[in-house]
Each structure stands twice: as structure tokens, then as C-alpha cells.
Amino acid sequence: MRQADGELWFRLPTKGDRTQLVAVRLVTGEDDHPWAQITSPVGRVADIDLARLLELAGETVAGGAATVDGVVVYRHSIALGDTALDGFDRPFRLVVEVADRLEHELTGATSTDARRVILPTCARPPS
């Protein structure tokens, strides 16, 4: 785990020898209230079938796909304040699992060596 101003970074084990990078950052929502945004990279926009991405992302119960700096990310945000830890844990795990599944299906990544995605500025861990 790494920590920077308003951000936490994790590289979490998934299936087999795969890992998934996930960032949690404090953001201010359109409602001017604090939110925790959970983001995980999927792959480069140029390397992904975007129509298929939308189909797969549409099957999930929470979160969604976005692009940042040429990288597809899967993300979900949670309002902070009254949210208990268990209200954060399930969406956090969901983002990690869905992003890993999308990456595997859309890029063919099969191991930790497949982590060659160039992360967008907002998804780079602190040095």
C-alpha cells in the first residue's frame, strides 16, 4: 500500500498469479460533499473493443467505465460521512474484481507481467 495526499494505492491479488492496481482518492462531488472514488485501470483505449467494454460494464451492479489520459478505468464513488466501513468494503472489492475481469477479457492479460498499461495521470501511484 502507498499513501499520498488524499489517495491510497493498493496492488491486490486476484485470481491465480494476477494482481490488480486500485486507487482510492478523496474527491469533492458536484454536491460539494466529500466522496471516495475507487479507480482501477483496465487497459489502453486503443487496445480495447469499446463496444464490448460497454456491454460488460453494463452487466455490473455498481460502478462504470471511463477513460482518462487514453486509459480505460473502472470506477465507483461512495459518499463519505455516514458511510460505515462495510458500506465501503463491498464496492471496493467489486471495483477490483470487475476491473480485473474486464482487463483479462478485453486485453487477454493472464499474469502480473501483463501490467503494461500506461496509467493515466489520475491513476498513477505516488513515487
Cα gap 81→61, rounded to integer Å: 22
**What are residue 102's phi and psi, to 5 degrees?**
-65, -45
Indicate the pTM of the whole model.
Answer: 0.77
CATH class of 2-123: alpha beta
Report the chain's C-alpha Rg in angstroms. 14
Look at residue 122 in the predicted model and tell me its pLDDT: 55
Residue 93 near residue 60, CB atoms below 8 Å: no
> Which residues does residue 64 pair with via DSSP β-bridges, in sequence order?
75
Note the pLDDT of residue 113: 42
Contacts of 112 (CB under 8 A, 6+ apart): 17, 18, 19
Positions of the chain with pLDDT lower than 50, given as ranges? 112-115, 118
Q: Where are the domains of the chain?
A: 2-123
